[in-house]
Amino acid sequence: MEATESFIKFLQSCISPIALISGVGLILLSLNNRLARTIDKSRMIVNELKNGQTADKDKKRLELKILFKRSKILRNSIVSISFSILSSSLIIPVLLLMNLFHINLESLGILFFLFSIIGIILSAVFLFIDVILTLKALEFEVKDHI
C-alpha cells in the first residue's frame, strides 16, 4: 500500500513540470514558425537581388539586414526556451530520486525550476525585440504606399 501511495505522490508531483513543458512547447512552436517565415522572406529577397528583379536594391539590402538580425534574435529566443524545457525536464528525475530513495534534493529541483523560469523570461525578451524589428522591417516595405 505504501508503494502505491508513493507512486501516486510521484505522479502528482510530476504534473506541474509536464504542464510547464507543454505550455513552453507551444511557445517554441510559435518561435520556430517565426524563424521559418524570416528565413523564407530572406531567401526571397536574396533571389530578387540576384535576379535583378527589384528597383530599390539599397532598401532590399537594409530589409535583408533586419531579417538576418531577427533570425539571430529568434535563434537566441529558441535556445532560451529550449533551455527552459531541458530544465523543466530535469525536475522529473529529481522528483523520482526523491521519491524512490528518500533523498533530499529539493534545492536541486528548485534550481532547475529557476533555470526554467529564467529561460522563459529570456525567450520572452528576445521575442519582444523580434516584434520590434518586425515592425521596423514592415515599415520599409509599406512606407512608400501609405
Residues 6+ apart with CB under 8 A from 49: 57, 60, 61, 64
The pair phi, psi for residue 105, each rounded to 5°, is -115, 25
What is the extent of the structural domain holding 69?
2-145
Query: Quick one: cell of 88?
Result: 523543466
DSSP type of residue 55:
S
Residue 26 reports pLDDT greater than 90: yes
Residue 8 reports pLDDT greater than 90: no
* Strongest mean pLDDT among 4-18, 88-102, 103-117: 103-117
Residue 140 reports pLDDT greater than 80: no
Total domains in the chain come to 1
Please tell me the pTM assigned to this model: 0.89
Kindly state the average pLDDT of the residues 117-146.
91
Residue 1 reports pLDDT greater than 70: no
